[in-house]
Structure 1
Amino acid sequence: MSNSTYILDEKLLASGGSRFANYIVDIIVVFCLIFVFGIVMALIANLFGLGGLMYWLGNMSDFEGQILFVAICIFYYSFSEGIFGRSLGKFITGTIVVDENGQKPSFGTIFKRTLCRLIPFDALSFLGSRGWHDSISDTYVVNKKELEREVKLFHEFNLIGNNEVI
């Protein structure tokens, strides 16, 4: 068996259109999660007679709303990309987050990637090539099917000429 390691080919990177679709779908999911959070908290407040919680939910400041948005984003991206390597947007567009070897990144790398999303103007960083949350965390968003085909071909090519052990 060969000791060579697969290195990601830049041609597998997801298109700008796919990345934009990922962003739109994921933002919609985050807003839905915030809505569900509000409903669950209101139900809990009503069930247990927590008037203060109901008051807070109804009178949340802009700053508190932004903190909630950031917390839900961190939860959503860390959970979905940490467990599946993909957010809902990436499932829909057929893309996946990988490291330079085409493997699922560690949870620490995904968490770093998620925190980098909080950098102001990160979304605009895609006007160049790779976004900041990709380049800082050394991750790549690629087409999943194309990656699987490339990795399979790479490993099959490395088997050529190797003696079969029985």
Structure 2
Amino acid sequence: MKNTSFAITADLLASRGQRFLNFCFDLVFLYIIILSIGTSIILIAEVANEFTVSAWVENLSNGEIAFYSVLIMLLYYSLTEIYFSRTIAQLITKTVVVNKDGTKPDIKMLVIRSLCRFIPFEPFSFLGTNPRGWHDTFSNTYVVKKKKLAKNVRVFNDQEEFAQSI
């Protein structure tokens, strides 16, 4: 009996439409998070009569805003994918990040995935013939349809169990 393992196939991959929606929804959620944090700091500082803090936040330079935005973006993608294997957008589109064998990627792979999002023109990496972006290929991860993955893994495991019982 040949010992095989499950592998991601092209039919499991999220569509370009799902990937585009993931990008758009995550961008909206990131803007909401960034603006909410800034507004919350200002409100808390003003309630606490710490007007120097609220003035500091209101007068951040473009470079400082970019730095904090990148930090929040890195935390958003890393933490959501480390803990849930998906971002909020991927939850909405019913997709999930996995390894080539369909299991949850390790932390190193997910951090690499998050860092690769900062490569210039990375969002355009989906426009070629390969439906995987650079942040997928460099981290050896896949974004797949969650229900279809679960079904295929279940069928695969049932076949393996049947083969071993013979």
TM-score, L = length of structure 1: 0.92
Q: In the alignment, residue 27 of structure 2 is paired with which amino acid?
A: I
1:144 and 2:111 matched? no
Q: List 4+ stretches of structure 1 deviating above 6 A.
A: none
Aligned residues: 163
Q: In the alignment, residue 135 of structure 2 is paired with which amino acid?
A: H
Q: In the alignment, residue 65 of structure 2 is paired with which amino acid?
A: G
Unaligned runs of 5+ in 1: none
- Structure 2 match to 1:52: 52
Unaligned runs of 5+ in 2: none
- Structure 1 match to 2:69: 69
More deviation, 44-53/72-81: 44-53
More deviation, 41-50/140-149: 41-50
1:111 and 2:111 matched? yes
Q: CA RMSD in A?
A: 1.5
**Closer/same/farther in 2, CA of residues 50 and 3 from structure 1, 3 Å limit:** farther
Please list, as runs of the form range in 1=range in 2, the aligned pairs for 1:124-143 lying within 5 A after superposition: 124-128=124-128, 129=130, 130-143=132-145
TM-score, L = length of structure 2: 0.92
Q: In the alignment, residue 150 of structure 1 is paired with which amino acid?
A: N
**Closer/same/farther in 2, CA of residues 99 and 161 from structure 1, 3 Å limit:** closer
Q: In the alignment, residue 154 of structure 2 is paired with which amino acid?
A: K
- Structure 2 match to 1:17: 17
Q: In the alignment, residue 155 of structure 1 is paired with which amino acid?
A: N
Give me the whole-angstrom Cα distance separating, in 2, the residues matched to 1:48 and 1:3.
65
**Closer/same/farther in 2, CA of residues 75 and 66 from structure 1, 3 Å limit:** same
Aligned partner (choices 140, 143, 165) of residue 163 of structure 1: 165
Q: In the alignment, residue 112 of structure 1 is paired with which amino acid?
A: I
Give me the whole-angstrom Cα distance separating, in 1, the residues matched to 2:144 and 2:163.
30
Q: What SS class does the counterpart of residue 161 from structure 1 fall into?
A: helix
1:84 and 2:99 matched? no
